[in-house]
Structure 1
Amino acid sequence: MARAPFTCRRTASAVIALATGLTGLTLSPGSAHAQDGAQDSAQVHAPEIIVTAQFREQRLQDTPIAITATSGDQLAAKSVDSVTDLTAIAPNVNLSEATGLNGSAVQAYIRGIGQNDSSFALEPGVGIYIDDVYYGTTFGAILDLNDLDRVEVLRGPQGTLSGKNSIGGSIKLFSRKPDEVSDGFVEATTGSYGRIDLRASAGFTIADGLYARISGVSKHTDGFFKLYDYGCLNPDSGIAPTVGGGDCQTGTEGGVDVQGGRLALRYAPVGSSLEINLIGDYAMNKSEQVATKLIYANSNDTRSYDAADPMGGVPFDSRFLTGPKSYSSYANYASGGNYTTIFGTPLQVAPGTFDTSPQSTAKSWGVAGTVDFKLTDFLAVKSITAYREASGTSGIDLDGSPLSVLVQEFDYEHAQFTQELRLSGQVGTLVDFTVGGYYYDADDNIAGRSLIPTAMFDFVQDDPISNRSVSAFAHSEFHLTPDLNVIAGIRYTDDKKTYQFTRRNPDGTLPSGIPLTTNFLVAGLDGEVGLFKGTRTDYRLGVNYRFMPELMVYAQIATGYKGGGINPRPYTPDQIVPFDPETLTTYEAGFKSDLLNNRVRFNGTFFFNRYKDLQINRYFCPESVSPTCSQPANAGDADVWGLEAELFAEPIDNLTIDGAMGYLNFDYTRVDPTTFVEEDMVAPFNPSWQLSAGMQYKAQLGDGIGTLTPRVDWTYQSSFYFNSVNNPDNQIGSRSLFNLRLTYASDDETWQVSTGITNLFDKFYYTGVSENVQNYGVNTGSVGRPREWFLSVRRAF
């Protein structure tokens, strides 16, 4: 394992040397070096984007970190309209809708580091920011990308460059700022499964120096995944039907129902040293539960059942599987039936005592105020104050069958206040610096009911969680020569988290604790409180050098961490245990280049991660009174190295090609055997390869007629494991997906008509699994969307 990083360092050096050589072909010996990367002698064909990843405005090609930046117009051209679609634009980025167990949440991973559990007791491994405001949970983070100025995806630890510590990286969404230009658009889209989307935005001037922008979105798509009544389709099965006649369909999953709006006000008088931005937003997501399919069912594989009689004489087995590539299941989201428990005792649950629905809602709103004040020509202060709330409900039928082996319904509530203060300045031409402080305070609650009859669980919970983080940071860039810069940054963080447990019988009484009675295992949990405290210092050291206007190289070392906490899902009191923070040290080298008279932009990165105390989830705890568990734990240490490359080319006018490549190589160097992780396993969400490519040609139809732009996009992701203890049941297969889009635009671009197809070849694939064969003999998978067509009309003004 020790030899691999050095091999890749040689590879990275060779790539940089190649880029240098290629660039040299386009330069004359007298080419002038320029710190700002300005290129006056040739047209820049690649789109120029200004980013603020280092607290100041810089060209993307001048920013010495691994960052992908894309404008709102580019996102629309690639049919990217949600956070989860960003997987298609950046290397080693894996974003998807979370499994149903986690409610309306996003699974966000960068370079194999992230979080797939939406519990408020756990920190996201990837920070999501909305106009520089950190969103402190994965719940409710499936955000719509409407009326954006740009998206910045930063890879690697961002402790010294972001408001909150983010060990894996950051995704930053920046909405269009109001300005003196009065413009806007209205867009309507229709498509498969009754799709009706409406989007609109308008900016206008209220008075000199006072501007406003308002935008809104409404999206509706019917569910593509059908739910059937097993008893209706199989009248002799011994399972009573719940519907009669017709096609025995009870509902759907995968439907979309989202409405949202944003109002932005900006005060920026010409010549003033003061700028104030106020933003308020609201979103209501009443979408259906993520499409979930039963993949495997076999009660003989688990101790949790009497194999012959798990419920009413009906074994839990392959009879409840639908076709391997059919978009359907027999989930009924209801309790009821006769069960044989883990202890061999009978348990009867009255039909209809606990019914939920295939819906996963999230309502969120927030307000933010940003004040920029220029104290002198070389010193400025920025204050970012924000408050956000999110709440929702999720209904879960985790077994995907009519037997109701595990049915749950949870209510989520999240409220956060953040305050960031920065002082930025310059010391002549020698130093750019920023110092600041950050405060994060969140109050959360998870309430609901869990029904696991075979384990004699039928309890309600109402758990408050608090999370407070205070930090101070400093970042500086020393310009030693016009082409050579040294970067140094540091951050100190103090964290405190508490989790209070409430476990009651559904009638509000306390569990008795008498063996073999319902909920006796959770007796003693009610009123218990878990506490975690910790401090951490992170740093960044880097150097970058611009060999010529067309080529910059950089190298850095940076650290990051994800805070520890308390197990939020104990089955018994002895499972209220803490877990430690996970930490990361990243060594990174890369280059940014513009080649062949600026017709080719090619950026590359090599990184090597020292990963310590990886946080994973245990599902088997033999040391506990209840061996069944769902417990965060620290699995061990790992070395991870990888490569990233991004390409943009315009070989001839109006023909553009873009692509990205990401490679990951994961090796455990130490494992904790009590987690059942083995050294030859791989951490979740670590696909070896991620590739994407797109091509479009903008054809002029004639004077006054307009343009026609066909575009094709391809993404590939190799297989990866969803659970820390790898087995074939939790391996997500590789996939290639293709999208087509054809856009007509009028000469003045006021009218635009687009049509296209996503998942062109109707690939059936899974985005995640909830595999628990050992404890419950069940495995369900979250199904990706099938082939869909769309047609949209946009009018700009």
Structure 2
Amino acid sequence: MKTLTKSALVIAVHAALLSQASFAQVAKESERALESITVTAQKRTQSIQEVPISIATLNGEQFESIFSGGEDIVALAVRVPGLYAETSNGRVAPRFYIRGLGNTDFDLAASQPVSIVMDDVVKENVILKSFPLFDIEQVEVIRGPQGTLFGRNTTAGIIKFDSVKPSDDFDAYVKLGVGNLGTINLEGAVGGSLGEDLAGRFSVLSQDRDDWIDNAYTGQKDVIGGFDEKAWRGQLAYTPTEDFSALLSVHGRELDGTASVFRANILSKGSNDLNQNFDRDVVYYDGDIDGNGADNNPQKYENYGASLKLEFGLEDMDFTSITAIENAEGSSLGDIDGGVTLTEAADINGDGTTELTFPGNISFSAVTQDNLDDLEQFTQEFRLASDTTEALNWQVGAFYYESSFNVTSIDGFFGATTVFHDNTTWAVFGQTSYDVNEKLNITGGLRYTKDDKSLVVGEQNVNGFALVIGAASVQDYADINVDDGQVSWELSANYRIDKNTSLFSRVANGFRAQTIQGRDVAFEGAPSVAESETINSYDVGTKTDLLDNTLRLNIAAFYYEIDDVQFSAIGGGANNTALINADKGVGYGFEIDAQYLVTDNLTLTAGYSFNHTEIKDDSLTVLPCGANPSFNFTGNCTVIDPSTDGFAVSIDGNPFPQAPETIFNFTARYAFPVGDNAEVSIYTDWAFQGKTNLFLYSSREFKTNDNFEGGLRIAYENFEDDYSVALFGRNITDEENLKGAIDFNNLTGIVNQPRIFGIEAKVRFY
């Protein structure tokens, strides 16, 4: 399958999209056309072709296919040009990147420049961002700095999820999928009128997979890799008059699964190819917190929340209030080194002899547990917007955010340490849009944000072995308090050349406040603070519908500069996780989103993004891959960057970490009728990830290139009886892709999910 290169697919899609002459006449004869896509990126319903922002959407069959194998939210990675996601925390704490901007920090208090907004509520903590996706109406990926219309400010962009809302019309569905590895996915919803002026909807999700990975060190079979995920959402909509509506939403989630699977020494020095130590079905874990044997990376989390949206129609304007609360807690435990130390060789055969059957040397064992307790988030947003047909439209708003939680990190050597985080933010924002004439629209916006954060260190080294033997001591850290307030702004223009084509440009300024990292306290290190970062971003683009509205082509080019860009320096000989600022970061590139209705039976979509990022700081250095001056150790990997002292290396000129240089995705759907009331469809989707540097420094080992995965779905749908049956496959070629790494102790890697295939049935009721 590796012979199916990205270049070949690009050529094929290019030919399909640009062979316009031969298809134009066919399109005219059949009078087919692409459906209009509406978005709410500017807090009002608009055609995606009219919004002067680079936006992509996911919905319908494309969205459902991505998640048919039980995938979590990280499956959105590279399914949209410019969008990437990854994790080293299992099915919680995902990390998102738009146009290369993100945060590789795995701490539960990590700040991210990409905001997740679900049903108008920002999900700020990384645990909240992992809420499962089900009964979703549409996903909008809004690229570039946002803030003059959204509650939470963001420097990279927003991923906006909108669930299906209650209506007076009854509808329900049940969807059941069964696949290999004991995968069972059950999803359903029911909604309709509950009485005069009242409608409701209740949605549920159950995702299960058996453990399928063996721990060969302990001799345990099928003890890692599974999950049991349950989630639900209930909504009540009350609309007594045209001038008032209320929407109450409550939701919950419980996860019992496996944290990320770390695999020791699956890379060889000098190469980023997976070596002979890699076996998808086997790990060698000795990680043990409580002395009862290997823990096998357990993970448990729960999250509950509620929101109330009130909308009032006033004279020539609308007033909206959104109040929301979130609560979460849970824990993850990981054998971070991914293997076994040589001094802990096991009696594998039970005959009194030991064999080193596990992969490679590990100088010391590392196992860590993180407990998140008492996460509470409260948000309140008010918006007042014009409601007229005049040339001038405007919106103003205020936003308040408050969160608090504590994180207890437990290490097998140092013991337990607890830190307490608090964050309070308030902002006022506004935006106005003016139709200069029938062709030109100009939009401007302002925002002021005030952000306060604090860190308090609680108990340290509780029952720590290092404390007992004198290798560690209880440290006295002063409380940390940081605050900042800044103005952000944007100015954009959209020019309609004709009814099918528009040009847009946008200049936006964004602000991300200071962040605090307290994880190093668990390992006898001081907390770290990153100063605020600001971004100036520039976009130009065109949106057009061609060939009698059968071909949609949206193109955007961008350039941005970030001052004091925040990064996380992770790893080194002490396994530190420190926040740092680089003087400047630069990024430029472009995105192409295309959709082509070739015939009444065949639809193609394609997306491509090029993204160049660069760190600009000639004095900033980090310790790479286990380098430790105290032990005269220069590291495990082959570093390409120049070294300043034989240990630390300069990262000036390097790309941002986990920022794919290119992303290419492609889908094709072919359907043909069966009788008068049914059809058979064949749907395939492919996603490619180009050159990606995993860390701040560059090495031959910790980078990826040309990762790809494909999906296939063959379905029969009966429109008269409202049911469908489908065969599905995810990662159908069973690609083994390096997705992440642990760089302080050995050449440990994290890989993608295996091939999942099965059958799915869906029944609708009206």
* TM-score, reference length from structure 1: 0.82
In the alignment of these two chains, the number of paired residues is 691
What is the alpha-carbon distance in structure 2 between the residues aligned to residue 576 and residue 147 of structure 1?
41
Partner Cα separation in structure 1 for residue 239 and residue 388 of structure 2? 26
Which residue in the other structure is 2:665 paired with?
692
Tell me how far apart the structure 1 counterparts of residues 37 and 45 of structure 2 sit (CA, whole Å): 10
Structure 2 equivalent of residue 274 of structure 1: 244
More divergent stretch after superposition (731-740 vs 161-170): 731-740
Does structure 2 retain, via aligned residues, the 8 Å contact 1:253–1:290? no
Q: Does 1:670 align with 2:617?
A: yes
Q: Structure 2 vs 1, CA of residues 217 and 627 (structure 1 numbering), >3 Å: closer, same or farther? A: closer
Which residue in 2 is equivalent to 1:657?
Answer: 604
Alignment match of 1:387 (pick from 321, 325, 329) = 325
- The 1:208–1:498 alpha-carbon spacing in structure 2 relative to 1, beyond 3 Å, is same
Q: Secondary structure at the match of 1:575?
A: coil
What displacement does 1:44 show?
Answer: 6.7
Q: Post-superposition shift, 1:333? A: 2.4
Deviation at residue 552 of structure 1 after TM alignment = 1.0
Is 1:65–2:41 an aligned residue pair? no
In structure 2, what is the Cα distance between the partners aligned to 1:486 and 1:48? 23
Does residue 79 of structure 2 align to residue 89 of structure 1?
yes
The whole-number CA distance in structure 1 between the counterparts of 2:171 and 2:569 is 53
Displacement of 1:47 after TM fit?
2.9
CA distance in 2, matches of 1:66, 1:223: 41
Task: Tell me the SS of whatever aligns to 1:324.
Answer: coil
Answering whether residue 487 of structure 2 is matched by residue 537 of structure 1, we say yes
Q: 2:226 aligns with which of 255, 259, 262?
A: 255
- Helix, strand or coil at the partner of 2:258: coil
Residues 1:686 and 1:671: Cα distance change in structure 2 (over 3 Å): farther
Alignment of 1:212-291 (within 5 A): 212-229=200-217, 242=218, 248-269=219-240, 271-291=241-261
Instruction: Find the counterpart in structure 2 of residue 783 from structure 1.
Output: 751
Matched letter for residue 224 of structure 2: E
The 1:509/1:420 distance shift into structure 2, 3 A limit, reads farther
Q: Structure 2: 5+ residue runs without aligned partners? A: 1-16, 342-363, 623-648
- 1:519 — aligned with what? 472
CA apart distance, 1:380: 0.5
Q: Deviation at 1:573?
A: 7.3
In structure 2, what residue type is equivalent to 1:751?
Y
Superposition pairs of residues 477-626 of structure 1, within 5 angstroms? 477-507=433-463, 517-520=470-473, 523-525=474-476, 528-571=478-521, 575-619=526-570
CA contact (8 A) 2:213 2:221 kept: no
Superposition deviation, residue 612 in structure 1: 1.9
- Is contact 1:586–1:610 with CA below 8 Å preserved after alignment? yes
Percent of aligned pairs with the same amino acid: 24
Aligned partners of 1:278 and 1:367 also within 8 Å: yes
Secondary structure of the structure 2 residue equivalent to 1:417: strand
Q: Deviations over 1:605-626 (max 9, x none)?
A: 00001122222223579xxxx9
Report the Cα distance in structure 2 between the residues aligned to 1:731 and 1:551, rounded to whole angstroms.
40
- Let me know the Cα RMSD of the aligned residues: 3.0
Report the alpha carbon displacement of residue 506 of structure 1 after superposing the two structures with TM.
2.8
Q: Is the 8 A contact 1:644 1:663 kept in 2?
A: yes
Change in 2 beyond 3 A, CA 1:87/1:570: closer
Give the secondary structure class of the aligned counterpart of 2:77. Answer: helix
In 1, the alpha carbon distance for the partners of 2:263 and 2:758 equals 26
The gaps in structure 1 that reach 5 residues or longer are 1-18, 28-39, 230-241, 243-247, 302-319, 336-350, 452-456
CA-to-partner distance for each residue in 1:79-120, whole Å, 9 max, x for gaps? 466422222431010023x114x8821021111111232434
Change beyond 3 A, Cα 1:507–1:78: closer
Relative to structure 2, which stretch is displaced further, 273-282 or 285-294?
285-294
Separation in structure 2 between the aligned mates of residue 331 and residue 131 of structure 1, nearest angstrom: 41
- Output the CA distance in 1 between the equivalents of 2:598 and 2:706: 31
Q: Secondary structure at the match of 1:137?
A: coil
SS at match of 2:165: coil
* Whole-angstrom distance in 2 between the partners of 1:291 and 1:627: 21
Q: 1:509 to 1:530 in 2, by over 3 A?
A: farther
CA contact (8 A) 2:32 2:600 kept: no
Alpha-carbon contact 2:730-2:756 (below 8 Å) kept: yes
CA distance 1:746–1:216, shift in 2 (3 Å): same
The code of the aligned residue for 2:415 comes to F
> Is 1:771 paired with 2:737?
no
CA distance in structure 2 between the partners assigned to 1:144 and 1:573 by the alignment: 36
1:417 equivalent in structure 2:
378
Look up the match of 2:164. Answer: 176
- Counterpart check, 1:330 vs 2:284: yes
Q: What secondary structure, in the 3-state scheme, does the structure 2 residue paired with 1:76 have?
A: helix
The answer to whether the Cα contact below 8 Å between 1:114 and 1:168 also exists between their aligned partners in 2 is yes
Report SS of the residue matched to 1:570. Answer: helix
CA distance in structure 1 between the partners assigned to 2:32 and 2:616 by the alignment: 45
How far did 1:671 drift? 3.8
SS at match of 1:206: strand
Structure 2 CA distance for aligned equivalents of residues 730 and 189 of structure 1: 36
Where does residue 348 of structure 2 map in the other structure?
none
Report the counterpart of residue 3 of structure 1 in structure 2: none
- CA distance, structure 1, for counterparts of residue 329 and residue 574 of structure 2: 32
Per the alignment, residue 11 of structure 2 pairs with: none
**8 Å contact kept, 1:43–1:598:** no
Match of 1:682 in 2: 655
> Is contact 2:612–2:655 with CA below 8 Å preserved after alignment?
no
- 2:130 match: secondary structure: coil
The amino acid that maps onto 2:750 is S
Contact kept, 8 Å, 1:461 with 1:502, in 2: the verdict is: yes
Deviation readout 1:419-456 (Å, 9 max, x if unpaired) = 000000056622111100000000111013112xxxxx
Contact 2:266-2:278 at 8 Å conserved across structures? no
Distance 1:603 1:467, change over 3 A: same
Q: Does 1:631 align with 2:619?
A: no
Structure 1 residue corresponding to 2:337, chosen from 399, 405, 414: 399
State the distance in 2 between where 1:294 and 1:47 align: 49
Q: 1:266 to 1:502 in 2, by over 3 A?
A: same
Q: Matches of 2:447 and 2:614 in 1, distance apart?
A: 28
Partner of 2:592: 645
255-264 vs 69-78, which moves further: 69-78
Find the aligned partners of 2:327 and 2:610 in 1 and give their Cα distance. Answer: 37
For 2:576 and 2:537, the matched residues in 1 are separated by 33
In structure 1, give the amino acid aligned to 2:183: R
- Once residues 469 and 253 of structure 1 are traced to their aligned partners in structure 2, the CA distance between those partners, rounded to angstroms, is 40
Partner of 2:346: none
| Conserved? CA contact 2:105–2:577, under 8 Å | no
> Is 1:635–1:677's contact at 8 Å kept on the other side of the alignment?
no
Q: In 1, distance between residues paired with 2:168 and 2:762?
A: 22
Report the equivalent of 1:16: none
User: After superposition, what is the alpha-carbon deviation per residue over 1:591-635, rounded to whole angstroms, capped at 9, x for unaligned?
Assistant: 1110000010110000001122222223579xxxx9763211012
Q: Does 1:160 align with 2:148?
A: yes
Map 1:329-478; keep pairs closer than 5 Å.
329-334=283-288, 352=291, 356-376=295-315, 378-403=316-341, 405-413=365-373, 414-426=375-387, 429-451=390-412, 457-478=413-434
CA drift of 1:508 comes to 8.4
User: How far apart are residue 162 of structure 1 and its match?
Assistant: 1.6
Q: Which letter does structure 2 place at the counterpart of 1:287? A: G
Aligned residue number for residue 312 of structure 1 = none
Distance (Å, rounded) in 2 between the aligned partners of 1:165 and 1:389: 22
- State which of 97, 100, 105 in structure 2 corresponds to 1:109: 97
CA 1:790–1:636 in structure 2 vs 1: closer, same or farther (change >3 Å)? farther
- How much does 1:511 deviate? 5.2
Q: Which amino acid aligns with 1:695?
A: A
Q: 2:177, 2:408 → 1: CA distance?
A: 37
Residue 192 (structure 2) pairs with residue 204 (structure 1): yes
Deviations 1:173-214 (A, max 9, x none): 111110111001011110010111111100021112210000
Contact 1:64/1:554 (CA < 8 Å) preserved in 2? yes
